[in-house]
Structure 1
Amino acid sequence: MTINMNDFPVIETKRLVLRQITKEDANDILRYLSDEEVMKYYGLNPFKSINDALDEISWYQSIQNNKTGMRWGITLKEQGAVIGSCGFHNGVSQHFRTEIGFELSKDHWGKGIAFEAVEAIISHGYQHMNFQRIEALIEPPNQASQKLVEKLGFVREGLLRSYEFTDGKFDDLYVYSLLKQDFDRTKKS
C-alpha cells in the first residue's frame, strides 16, 4: 500500500477550502487553540503563546513527513483565515488504517462546518490514501464529536479505559470506526 502524502492536496467543498497549514497561520491557530472550550477534549492545555502554535504546526509537518498522517486547515471560501483543522494521524500503512481528529473555532460551532470538513477528508482518505479503516477516539463527555462521527456512519466499538493521561488524570476514550465499504454505502443512499 502506498499513501502519497508528498503533494499536499487542497480539498474544496461547498463552503470550505481545506489546505495545508503553514507558519503564517500561527496566529489563527493560537486564537482558537487558546480557548478553553475548544481545548476541553483536545488532550493538551490551552495554548498560551505563538510558540505553542508553531509547535503544533511542526507536529502537522512531522506526521506528513513521517507518512503517518496529514492535517488540513479549515478555511471559509474567500476568507483565508484558518478556523480549525482536521486530518489523519497514527496511520499504520500495512494495516490500511488511521485515526481522525478535528477541532473548530467556537465562533463556527453549530453551523455544520466540522461535518462538511470531516466528510470531505474521509472521502479523500478512502479514494486517494488507500484507507480501509478510519478510527475516532473520543472522550465520553464530548457528545458533539460523538454525534458528528455517528452522523457520518462511524460505529462505536467500545470503551478504552484510562487510555490517555492528560492534565494530571487518566481519560477513558470511546473507539469508533468507519470502514470504507460502510462509508461508500452511506454515500450512495
Structure 2
Amino acid sequence: MDFQELATDRLALVHIKTHHAASFFEIISRDEVTKYYGMSSITEIGQAESIIESFRQTFESGRGIRWGIVIKETGAFIGTVGLNNLNLKGKKAEIGFELHPSRWNKGYVSEAVKEVLDYCFGELGLFRMGAVTFPENGASIALLQKLGFEKEGILRGYLYQDGRSHDACMFSLLAKEHTIHNAKIC
C-alpha cells in the first residue's frame, strides 16, 4: 500500500519525515500533551526522530498509518493523527491524535479525524474504528462523541504510563454509523 496524503479545507495530512522532528518534539515534549497519551513526555530530539522512524516501520509493516497535521496556509506542523492496530483483513483499526496546545479548540483535530475516517471507511473499506482514551480526558471524549463514536466500556489497567497502570475508555464507530452521522451534519 502506498502512503496516501489527505487534505481538508485548512489542513494537509502528510507523510511524517525526519525534517518534521523538531516540530514533533515541540509537541510531544509537553506534559499537557502527553498527560493522556499513554507515554511520558520526551526530552531529546533524538527520541522524536526514533518515534518518526517507528511510524515509518509501522506503516511499512501494514500495522498503522500516521499523518502529520499541517496548516496549509502557513505550513506549520501542529500535530499528528493516525491509525494504530490496523488490521485490513479484519477491517478495523484504532485512531489516535495529538495537537500542539497553542492550536487546541480551533477544530483542527475534528477536521483531521473526519478526513481520516472518510478515508478509512471509504478507501480502505474498514468496518470498525476504535479509540482508546483515559477516562479523565474530557476533551478527547467530547470530540469522539461529537464524531459519532459510542462508548463501549472501561478497559481495566489497559494503559501503562508514568510507572503505573491506568484504566481506559474504549469507544467505537462503525462504517454505517459514520455514514449516517455524516448525513446528519451536512
Query: Aligned-pair distance for 1:89?
Result: 1.1
Q: How far 1:7 sits from its partner (Å)?
A: 1.9
Structure 1 runs not aligned, ≥5 long = 1-5
Distance 1:94 1:77 in 2: 34
Long gaps (5+) in structure 2: none
Q: How many angstroms does 1:165 deviate by? A: 1.8
Contact (CA 8 Å) 1:25, 1:81: kept in 2 or not? Answer: no
- Of residues 21, 24, 39, the one that matches 1:26 is 21
Q: In the alignment, does 2:144 pair up with 1:113? A: no
Amino acid at match of 1:77: K
Give me the whole-angstrom Cα distance separating, in 2, the residues matched to 1:87 and 1:168: 25
Is residue 53 from structure 1 mapped to residue 30 from structure 2 by the alignment? Answer: no
Other-structure match for 1:126:
121
Give the distance between the partners of 2:26 and 2:152, measured in 1 at CA: 34
Quick one: which amino acid aligns to residue 89 of structure 1? N
Structure 1 position 137, deviation (Å): 0.3
Match of 1:103 in 2: 98
Partner residue of 1:72 out of 64, 67, 70: 67
Moved over 4 A (4+): none
Q: Which of 134, 137, 142 does residue 132 from structure 2 map onto?
A: 137
Query: What percent of counterpart residues are identical?
Result: 35
Deviates more, 1:39-48 or 1:141-150: 39-48
Match of 1:92 among 87, 93, 99: 87
TM-score by length of structure 2 reads: 0.96
Query: What do the CA deviations read for 1:28-72 (whole angstroms, capped 9, x no partner)?
Result: 000111111011111111111111101110111111011011000
In structure 1, the residue matched to 2:158 is 163
- 1:93 Cα deviation after fit: 2.5
